Amino acid sequence: MNTLDAIRQRRAVKHFDAAHQISPAETDALIDLAMQAPSSFNIQHWRLVNVKDKALRVQLRAAAHDQAQVTDGSLLFVVTVDIKAWDKDPARYWVNAPKAAQDILVPWINPFYSGNEQLQRDEAMRSAGILLQTMMLAAKAMGYDSCPMVGFDFKKVAELIHLPKDYAVAAMLVIGKGTQAAWPKPGFIPKSEMVIDNHF
């Protein structure tokens, strides 16, 4: 499937074939594609909790208001972010870049984020959002459906996955073989409201 078709056909699917299994090779390919997502300063704040334990899935489903896709999807990722990733050996994010780029960009990272906790969190969540869209489009291109989720008890999910300090839960992402088509797209705001030329 080409990218334009994947963008138009991707939907948040709620019904999945609970018996379908995505192979380890497909899962690895999906994660490899996810790694291609961009992030500010290439910090890659995302940390994916690949929930394989069925009992944990049941607990996460309870924390998600009993939404069936949590247990029925082939894959369930709790997408978390390391808010302090900017301060953890930032040179490693640029190890393959030309030295001239490393010399300019790596020293910028600490002063850009240091002392600005709102920016640190915002940046991590922006990275998670880009990763989520990348994964959903990759899944669609691979012939699978997906469902991004925020309809759950964030605190309970954090407890269940033993979320480390300075991390945050961004969303959950279900991927699998959909069994029911999503309803028609509910509507779009007009482009005249969406796009503002130059300034408000």
Tens-place pLDDT, residues 45-61: 999 999 999 999 999 99
Residue type, 94: W
Q: Which CATH architecture has domain 3-194?
A: 3-Layer(aba) Sandwich (3.40)
Closest by Cα among 185, 132, 176, 186 to 15: 176
pLDDT in tens, 107-159: 999 999 999 999 999 999 999 999 999 999 999 999 999 999 999 999 999 99
Question: First-to-last CA distance in the chain?
Answer: 38
The pTM of this model reads 0.94
Q: What does the pLDDT average to over 18-36?
A: 97
Percent pLDDT > 70 in the chain is 100
pLDDT band at 182; cut points 50, 70, 90: confident
Percent pLDDT > 90 in the chain is 97
Residue type, 56: L
Handedness of CA 14, 189, 4, 129 (dihedral sign): negative
State how beta strands 167-176 and 75-82 pair.
antiparallel
pLDDT at 181: 86
Judged against a pLDDT cut of 90, whether residue 190 lies above it is answered with: yes
In 3-state terms, what secondary structure has residue 91? helix
